[in-house]
């Protein structure tokens, strides 16, 4: 009989998150997978076309059973976002009370909000099955950064919720090594926490360089950013950097190709206009994830950035794995683990988060590199990705965790 994994994730297909691929792979491995998720509305904050409170609440994707519980869309302000977070927990509570689903494991894919873990913890506790938590965002730290809330009573209450979730999870996985240390500091047993980095889906692979309609084919150094355009990404550094490069009058054109959508996009476009550097930017609408490698192949370098903050220095953004798997050099405006990975891999250059001057120098340095040198940096990225973010090896590790806990459960029953 197939083992049944119940996945709790506020975001799922057609929203673009790695959990889509993880679940697909579990189905291939012979597991039965059911996903409890919300109505898709990320990142724009509006329900996707064809979905709603009374539309497509149940769906099958790649053999995965999807159940969508009602939630308020994210909207475009903090009040709507708070309601979005809260509504998933409330409807998740009632789902948990009435559901007849019988699962062998619970797996919680935790990007913000951490509150989404509660329905999974409640289910696992009620039915006494192993509960796994995959931490992408640290709370309450993330709440302070994103919302600016500093009230000690609010942060304290969120901290107690986080401690409750950690306490009732069988095992906690993290996307960065620094997260392990932070979680252990909350009185969590070190043996309970494991670094399990993200991997890139199989369609992220090196492609032969060729032009695409969205990106002009000329002698410019084409730099690509692909992903969510939000506050955490720190993309406000790019208009400032572009102006510095423009003032230095370099003898080759530089183009920033920004692929994606998000709450900060409109502000970023206005910043570009106000700095009078529009000719250096090419905004491209959000694309299917599977098409990103094709756009990367039309560019010379990939870019990632994070807002300057101690928490983000501990974060490895998922796009780093995507970039490296595609064998493209990386320019980063980020610190901590992202900087360390680029240094270890010799796959590109990084500068302190928020430092536009240093970033402009690094970009100009890339201008001086030959095609062969850029190709070597890209190969270094791919080699590092194959060694450290190997999809098959990581999934096999998770499989062992599931089976180990199955044996433990059997012993307890006997």
| Mean of pLDDT over the chain | 92
Q: Render pLDDT for 296-337 as a digit per residue (tens, 0 to 9).
A: 999 999 999 988 888 888 889 999 999 999 999 999 999 999
Domain 4-199+390-413 and domain 221-388, same fold? Reply is yes
pLDDT at 413 over 70: no
Q: Which residue has the higher pLDDT, 76 or 183?
A: 183
- Domain boundary assignment for the chain: 4-199+390-413, 221-388
In the prediction, which pLDDT does 281 show?
97
Name which CATH class applies to 221-388. Answer: alpha beta
Q: Render pLDDT for 123-177 as a digit per residue (tens, 0 to 9).
A: 999 999 999 999 999 998 877 766 667 778 888 899 999 999 999 999 999 999 9
The mean pLDDT of 224-232, rounded to a whole number, is 89
The mean pLDDT of 273-288, rounded to a whole number, is 95
In the prediction, which pLDDT does 406 show?
52
139 torsion bin: left (phi>0), alpha (psi -120 to 50), beta (else): beta
* Nearby residues of 356 by Cβ (< 8 Å), 6 or more positions away: 237, 240, 241, 244
The mean pLDDT of 112-131, rounded to a whole number, is 96
- What pLDDT band is residue 78 in, cutting at 50, 70 and 90? confident
pLDDT at 58 over 90: yes
Q: Does domain 4-199+390-413 have CATH number 3.50.50.60?
A: no
Q: Render pLDDT for 358-408 as a digit per residue (tens, 0 to 9).
A: 999 999 999 999 999 999 999 999 999 999 999 999 999 999 998 876 544
Q: Render pLDDT for 194-210 as a digit per residue (tens, 0 to 9).
A: 999 999 999 999 999 88
In the prediction, which pLDDT does 147 show?
66
């Amino acid at each position: 009989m197939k083992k049944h994994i119940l996945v709790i994730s506020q975001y799922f297909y057609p929203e673009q998150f790695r959990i889509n691929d993880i679940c697909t792979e579990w189905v291939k491995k012979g597991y039965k997978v059911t996903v409890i998720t919300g109505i898709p509305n990320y990142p724009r904050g509006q329900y996707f076309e064809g979905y709603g409170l009374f539309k497509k609440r149940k769906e099958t994707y790649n053999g995965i059973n999807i159940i969508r519980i009602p939630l308020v869309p994210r909207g475009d302000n903090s009040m709507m976002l708070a309601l979005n977070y809260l509504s998933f927990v409330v409807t998740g509570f009632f789902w948990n009370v009435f559901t007849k689903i019988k699962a062998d494991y619970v797996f919680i894919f935790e990007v913000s909000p951490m509150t989404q873990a509660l329905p999974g913890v409640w289910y696992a506790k009620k039915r006494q099955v192993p509960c796994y938590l995959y931490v992408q965002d640290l709370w309450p730290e993330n709440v302070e950064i994103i919302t600016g809330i500093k009230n000690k009573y609010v942060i304290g209450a969120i901290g107690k919720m986080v401690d409750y979730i950690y306490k009732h999870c069988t095992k906690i996985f993290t996307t960065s090594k620094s997260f392990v240390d932070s979680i252990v500091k909350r009185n969590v047993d070190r043996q309970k926490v494991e670094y399990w980095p993200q991997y890139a889906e199989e369609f992220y692979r090196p492609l032969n360089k060729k032009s695409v309609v969205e990106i002009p084919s000329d002698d410019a150094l084409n730099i690509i950013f692909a992903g969510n355009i939000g506050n955490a990404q720190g993309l406000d550094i790019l208009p400032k950097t572009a102006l510095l490069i423009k003032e230095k009058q370099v003898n080759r054109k530089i183009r920033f190709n920004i692929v994606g959508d998000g709450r900060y996009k409109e502000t970023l476009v206005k910043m570009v206009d106000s700095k009078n550097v529009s000719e250096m930017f090419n905004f491209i609408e959000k694309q299917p994830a599977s098409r990103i490698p094709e756009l990367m192949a039309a560019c010379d370098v990939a870019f990632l950035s994070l807002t300057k903050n101690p928490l983000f220095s501990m974060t490895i953004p998922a796009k780093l794995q995507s970039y490296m798997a595609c064998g493209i050099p990386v320019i980063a405006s980020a610190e901590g683990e992202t900087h360390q990975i680029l240094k270890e891999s010799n796959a590109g250059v990084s500068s302190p988060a928020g430092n536009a001057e240093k970033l402009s120098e690094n970009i100009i340095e890339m201008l001086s590199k030959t095609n062969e040198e850029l190709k070597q940096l890209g190969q270094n990225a791919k080699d590092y990705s194959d060694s450290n973010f190997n999809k098959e090896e990581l999934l096999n590790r998770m499989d062992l965790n599931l089976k180990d806990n199955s044996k433990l459960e059997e012993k307890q029953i006997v």
